[in-house]
Structure 1
Amino acid sequence: MKRILYLLHRWAGIALCLVMALWFLSGMVMLYVGYPKLTPAEQLQGLPALDGQGCCVPVAQALQASGLEGASQWRLSSVAGQPRYIFSDGRGKRLVAVDARSGQRIASVSADQALAAARHFAQEAPAELLARVEEDAWTHSKAMDPHRPLYRVAVADEAQRWLYVSGATGEVVRDASFTERSWGWLGAWLHWLYIFRGGALDAWWTDIVIWLSISGGVLGLSGLVVGVWRWRFKGRYKSGSRSPYREGFARWHHILGLGGGVLALTWVLSGLFSMNPWKVFEAPGPKPDRAAYAGGPLRADQAGDVGALLRRLASEGQPARQLEWRRVAGEMQVLVQTGAASFAVDSTGERRLPLSEEALREAAARLLPQARIVEQEWLQRYDAYYYSREPHTMTGQRDRPLPVLRLRFDDPQSHWVVIDPASGSIVQLSSSRQRTERWLFAFLHSFDLPPLLNTRPLWDGWMLGFSLAGLGLSLSGVVLGWRRLRRHEPGRSRPAFGQSGAEMRR
């Protein structure tokens, strides 16, 4: 058994230690520079206030022009300063844009239109059209799929951004600063093995990441077992050390493995869990019915006079940059986003009061009619399951307002729902399996408990410290692996099985 485990660890290390080293190195970069994204706040900052004069055609007319049956998401935004309706099927597969002044569907977006949209978004900074792309290094996200093809535009602003313009709607949907593009090669692009994306191996990218992670877990676990076997808890080797390795990379590899091997193992396994392998974190059975929570579909005849609504908001000192129609607890409302704040109004512009606890419970009960709400809790501060992260992180774009109401159901999957009373929006919905993923991935990968995140720079020191230990462990393995391979060169003497050079010198 020992012989098999020694061989397994040795050759798994030779095959994977360099990959592990690159994962640790890129992970440290990602602590501070994430994969490019355009957060909702950043998108709003690039939009002007919507002008209610001469705007807009009725929502019903725009819907008919869109030709998108069953559109469940409606919003009014702007492209190059001109108002534009955006309709979606709600599944993220289809997007259709309609000119809000003329009522004409946007059939396609030309290169000149994309360049004009990017310039306007960048506050008229000089811009240059670089390319029309289906996908590149900074647009691998599935969220970009309904926007493809994309126009890539270079902007001569302080951040030296690349702006990506949707070929479907004309909106700017992603930005990538020079810092993100530069460090991104060593960070997210390398960490997520995007070398395999967008080419011949694209269809196998998920499987490659999963199986490399599993192999890394085998490497880490076998190393821990071997390391404990080789450590003398009672007595010492002839050198006086408890480790058989007296000096050099082998000794450091052994000590670092014993000291940080558990962290290295849990870290690579948590990376595996981030991929939701074989959908192990997807809950079986009935899914919560968000349409039932809304209390019915959106109705165009209740959308109101859009131009009048915009004019009223402007007169009240709250010029809207974007409107989004929603149905909450059976009532139509409009979410107004100004760039500095967001709030809900009715179709005439009258402010909606926060929903009562009773109304929220009644609406939430329709999510899972076969289950009962067994517990409720008002959250006034973040906890282990509901918290925010910095914008550059994987979940940093998610809105996490406070206070919110959390309700727990007694269904087999133990669903929890978190609702913002100010807007009535569901801001988080999770099953027991997803909460398990929260610990197996998010916590073990980034130690993201709010009390830890709030103790920076101590959190930074911890993350960098264990990452450097993992990097040292991996790099020492690279050196040892290289030496082992060189011993197999013709004419070189080979130590007996299980012996290192240090052991041979004892």
Structure 2
Amino acid sequence: MKRYLYLAHRWLGIGLCLFMAMWFFSGVVMMYVGYPKLLPSERLAALPPLDAAASGVDLSRAFAAAGEGGAPQSVRLTRIAGAPTFIFERRAKDSGPQFTAVRASDGARVTRVSEENAIAAARAFLDGEASYDGVIVEDQWTHSKGLDGLRPLHRVFMSDVDSTLLYVSSVTGEVVRDATRTERLWNWAGAWIHWLYPFRGGWFEAYWHDIVVYSSLIGTVLAVTGLVVGVMRWRFRAPYKTGARTPYREGMMKWHHIVGLIGGATAVTFVFSGMMSVNPWKIFETKSAFDAKPYYGGALAPERFRLSIAQALTKFADDGLATRELELRVIDGAGYYVGFGAGGATRILRAEADAAPAFTLPFDELKRLGARLVPSAKITAATVMETYDFYYFARAPHTMHGDVDKRLPVLRLEFDDAAGTWAHIDPHTGAVLGKLDSGRRTSRWLFAFLHSWDAPALLAARPLWDALMLALNGAGFALSVTGIVIGWRRLKRKLGERRAPALAVPRRA
């Protein structure tokens, strides 16, 4: 049995140590440079305030221009190339999001975004000269599924100091992603190889998920067998005849053994949690009766907004908010406007003539409405969170979920259903921030925590977190590199032994 254990670790290591070293190295890069994304704060900072006097057509006309296809899930008024534009988003069960843009100036639907339109949008987003670089459906910096309803994408290079590459949607005309030169260069050694993106697109696309899952699974087996072998070969009581605790005298084998005992557990947890990141075999899927529709209380329709957009913008301005983007929302069947300003400032306003802007909605009202989220279940706990916890906390902007705004305070509701559903409601916007059932909470530990040690206390204690992560990844990288050297030497020796008989000179009779 021991022999098979040794052989399994040896040959799995020869086949996968290069991948392991790549994962540890690229993981360190991703600690500081993330995959390109356009943050909400960046997008809002590039927008000029909306003008109440030029708010454009009425909502009924804009909704009519957006066409049929069901009620939109969201509607927002923004600026594209300086022009006020409505963006409608619809979602179907069997397909991704679908977007429609309607010009607020004349109520016309945007049907084509030309090269000139894309350049104008890019220049409005970022000052400088623009160099058009064609249209793509997907490239190395746009693999995110969140862009699927916005493709194809125009590529525009800007002349700023960062040589920023902007992507403009051919559907809406909006700038939807930016990638600076620093991000592009570092990501070749970061997220692009860490997430095995060389296998995205083309023939490999259909197999990318399985490649991630099974390469991680084999890596986990490699790390576990190595840790077991390492412990078995270490003399905890009496040393070997050489006086050492390890049987290996040769330098690289000796260091592989020692580093493996130190970093073996790290290798197991990092590779295993990487596999958990893609929800293999849907093990985190939990059946839940969670449904946000009763909370919102009806479709997003123009008749629910008795207050015009111009009036709403005026009220926000009188309350001190220079609104750069306006979102339309329905809560408990009533229309609301949510105004977004620079620096994360927001106001929420019921779309009624006698209403006034507020920073947040009443928590008691949100709890009452939130009880509808899980039919036939009762709320067992309602917590107004003033501080972050293990399940609701903010990450640095460049990280995987760093573009998700995690504001405080937030309302957390816990239900007594079989799935153990939790829900978070943002009082600043009235939005239900999604469900957090038992499966997702398990994923939070088996993926997020084990992969990045993102306990809020550790994240708040930087650079302690940095030192810990660098040490763990460094041990894993050293373990992988020593494994590469050992494997290469063994392969050379094996290949040499096979060639030797063919090269031997036959004896004369």
The residue type paired with residue 293 of structure 2 is A
Matches within 5 A, 1:103-182: 103-122=107-126, 124-182=127-185
What corresponds to 2:8 in structure 1? 8
Provide the C-alpha distance between the structure 2 equivalents of 1:169 and 1:141, rounded to a whole number of angstroms.
17
Provide the C-alpha distance between the structure 2 equivalents of 1:315 and 1:365, rounded to a whole number of angstroms.
34
Tell whether 2:81 aligns with 1:80.
yes
The residue type paired with residue 327 of structure 1 is V
The residue type paired with residue 309 of structure 1 is A
What corresponds to 1:212 in structure 2? 215
Tell whether 2:346 aligns with 1:342.
yes
The answer (yes or no) to whether the contact 2:385–2:409 under 8 Å persists in 1 is yes
Tell whether 2:101 aligns with 1:97.
yes
**Which of 350-359 and 383-392 deviates more?**
350-359
Query: How far did 1:317 drift?
Result: 4.1
Report percent identity of matched pairs: 48
**Which of 270-279 and 484-493 deviates more?**
484-493
Provide the C-alpha distance between the structure 2 equivalents of 1:13 and 1:87, rounded to a whole number of angstroms.
51
Provide the C-alpha distance between the structure 1 equivalents of 2:312 and 2:424, rounded to a whole number of angstroms.
30
Q: How many residues align?
A: 492
The residue type paired with residue 292 of structure 1 is P
RMSD of aligned alpha carbons? 1.6
What corresponds to 2:406 in structure 1? 400
What corresponds to 1:370 in structure 2? 376
Provide the C-alpha distance between the structure 2 equivalents of 1:386 and 1:230, rounded to a whole number of angstroms.
43
Q: Any stretches of 5+ residues in structure 2 without a counterpart?
A: 501-509
- TM-score with structure 1 setting the length: 0.94
What corresponds to 1:410 in structure 2? 416
What corresponds to 2:330 in structure 1? 327
The answer (yes or no) to whether the contact 2:267–2:476 under 8 Å persists in 1 is yes
Q: Which among 201, 205, 211 is matched to residue 204 of structure 2?
A: 201
Q: Which among 453, 459, 462 is matched to residue 459 of structure 2?
A: 453
Query: How far did 1:465 drift?
Result: 0.7
Provide the C-alpha distance between the structure 1 equivalents of 2:390 and 2:283, rounded to a whole number of angstroms.
22
What corresponds to 1:67 in structure 2? 67
What corresponds to 2:277 in structure 1? 274
The residue type paired with residue 303 of structure 2 is D
The answer (yes or no) to whether the contact 1:150–1:167 under 8 Å persists in 2 is yes
Q: Which among 294, 297, 305 is matched to residue 295 of structure 1?
A: 297
Query: How far did 1:406 drift?
Result: 1.2
Query: How far did 1:405 drift?
Result: 1.7
The answer (yes or no) to whether the contact 2:347–2:359 under 8 Å persists in 1 is no
The alignment partner of 2:342 has SS state of: coil
Tell whether 2:478 aligns with 1:472.
yes
Provide the C-alpha distance between the structure 2 equivalents of 1:90 and 1:198, rounded to a whole number of angstroms.
24
**Which of 317-326 and 417-426 deviates more?**
417-426
Tell whether 2:22 aligns with 1:30.
no
Provide the C-alpha distance between the structure 1 equivalents of 2:319 and 2:224, rounded to a whole number of angstroms.
63
What corresponds to 2:53 in structure 1? 53
Provide the C-alpha distance between the structure 2 equivalents of 1:334 and 1:119, rounded to a whole number of angstroms.
29
The residue type paired with residue 117 of structure 2 is Q
The answer (yes or no) to whether the contact 1:224–1:258 under 8 Å persists in 2 is yes
Provide the C-alpha distance between the structure 1 equivalents of 2:116 and 2:478, rounded to a whole number of angstroms.
51
- TM-score with structure 2 setting the length: 0.94
Provide the C-alpha distance between the structure 2 equivalents of 1:15 and 1:35, rounded to a whole number of angstroms.
28
What corresponds to 2:186 in structure 1? 183
Provide the C-alpha distance between the structure 1 equivalents of 2:271 and 2:416, rounded to a whole number of angstroms.
34
Provide the C-alpha distance between the structure 1 equivalents of 2:180 and 2:130, rounded to a whole number of angstroms.
14
The residue type paired with residue 54 of structure 1 is A
Query: How far did 1:24 drift?
Result: 0.2
The answer (yes or no) to whether the contact 2:312–2:349 under 8 Å persists in 1 is no
Q: Any stretches of 5+ residues in structure 1 without a counterpart?
A: 495-506
**Which of 124-133 and 436-445 deviates more?**
124-133
The answer (yes or no) to whether the contact 1:68–1:89 under 8 Å persists in 2 is no
